[in-house]
Structure 1
Amino acid sequence: MQHAVVSHDDWLTARRDFLKAEKELTRLRDKVAQQRLALPWVRINKEYVFDTPDGSSTLADLFDGRSQLLVQHFMFAPGWKEGCPSCSFMADHTDGMNKHLAHHDVTMIAVSRAPLADIERYRERMGWQFKWVSSFGTDFNYDFRVSFTPDEVAGGKIDYNFGEWREIGEEWPGVSAFYKDDAGEVFRTYSTYGRGVEVMMGTYNMLDLAPKGRNEAGGMDWVRRHDRYGQSLHKA
């Protein structure tokens, strides 16, 4: 993109004009946030049991004494040697957020289908501190439409992101929100998929401010697991 090089006064004029669009976006984002809070909830009646470093835990246990739970549906299937690089990019933001979320009545964790031993090995390699549990052997991932059976994949289309999805794969990303009331009942309040998971990617927000923006040739082609960047710099 070619950019005009102008005087400071002309730059201020253009910047002030663009501020109108930014304020409009802020107001729209606030409106959508209120609409999200007003969505109906669904009670979770199925008893999901997860394998955790502390032993078996139910979904209610994972709230860890708080009333709200956020779950990153992390793509890491049984038999995989590593977790998904894009999900790893998302997870790199979690530990910093958790220091604040935990003090605002919110627990945030990750859930994957991989066995716990594989999860723990990868988590330690990446240096993450957040809680990451295994749904191996349960319906959790399938019920929340982030994992798909071989038959579903073979069918050429899957039910993902609240509609028909023709990019085929056994694992897909997502983020889900839950509430636990005083009686211990758990409710699903929200889930987001596809580009909706960018809400976890603070790095993208900063790239959007940078002169070259996201500077992506093919989606997240530049993203690596943080221990795989080496000394190279992305240039384009």
Structure 2
Amino acid sequence: MNMHTVVNQEQWVAQRKQLLVREKELMRQQDQLASARRALPWVRVDKQYVFDTPQGKRSLSDLFEGRSQLVVQHFMFAPGQERGCAHCSYMADHTDGALAHLAQRDVSLVVVSRAPLASLERMRKEMGWQFKWVSSGESDFNYDFHVSFAPEDMAGGEVYYNYAGQGFPHEDAPGVSVFYKDDAGVVYHTYSTFGRGVEVMMHTYRFLDLTPLGRHEEGLPYTMAWVRHHDRYAQPAASCCGSAHA
């Protein structure tokens, strides 16, 4: 870190107040954006999806667990892999503490991957996670919500991800989707976010953004190249999502 400007307390407070004006404006813009997000139209989900869960086969409607709102983390973990993506794991590390608070606001959260349930349960226990993790491997759920890509699409060099056709290096991608279930039991898709939008789950970044060195990702092969599964930080980095969150 290069030597930083050093001032007295009075000078620091003056500059801090200038930044505070910008921070408050950003907060107001974020509130406006959240309001616009809630105002988006919904899409009725008529297709029946089946998920493999520790309690047996369950539908998308079942995953709400009696609540009206459902948040889904699309976790990159394909059949045949030893472990799921380290970057999706970084997202998931922030989840357990939020579950009780989400429930108080009528929200359930579930993590979904294509890998078999046994693989998901093994990794969940290894990582010490408590959230519900279910397998969509027997349905089109991942493909319909554009976080998994068919081999023929991959072979063509371009897949549909983050609302655009683009090249993508993996058969699965990260994302967050939100659903609503009305009193009649009808499920609606209300929102999805991909790419850097999934940083909404990465609370560690919010802390890093407060620090003098920030995320300190300059010069890395790609952003998040430093991220490991939390039990493997002593080991060399393995190839994972690459620039998936760029």
Structure 2 match to 1:222: 226
Structure 1: any 5+ residue segments left out of the alignment? none
TM-score normalized with structure 2 length: 0.92
Q: Is the 8 A contact 2:149 2:171 kept in 1?
A: yes
2:201 matches 1:197: no
State how 1:47-66 maps to structure 2 within 5 Å.
47-66=48-67
Structure 1 match to 2:112: 111
Aligned partner letter, 1:95:
D
Structure 2 match to 1:173: 174
Structure 2: any 5+ residue segments left out of the alignment? 237-246
Secondary structure in 1 aligned to 2:216?
A: coil
CA distance in 1, matches of 2:235, 2:228: 12
CA distance in 1, matches of 2:3, 2:182: 55
Q: Identity percentage over the alignment?
A: 60
CA distance in 2, matches of 1:2, 1:59: 54
2:121 matches 1:120: yes
Aligned partner letter, 1:107:
S
CA distance in 2, matches of 1:130, 1:26: 30
CA positional deviation for 1:108: 0.4
Structure 2 match to 1:21: 22
Deviates more, 1:38-47 or 1:94-103: 94-103
Q: Is the 8 A contact 1:48 1:59 kept in 2?
A: yes
Measured against aligned partners, the alpha-carbon deviations of 1:184-204 in whole angstroms (never above 9, x if no partner) come to: 000000000000000001100
TM-score normalized with structure 1 length: 0.96
In the alignment of these two chains, the number of paired residues is: 232
CA distance in 1, matches of 2:235, 2:229: 13
Q: Is the 8 A contact 1:157 1:168 kept in 2?
A: no
Structure 2 match to 1:149: 150
CA positional deviation for 1:230: 3.6
CA distance in 1, matches of 2:80, 2:187: 31
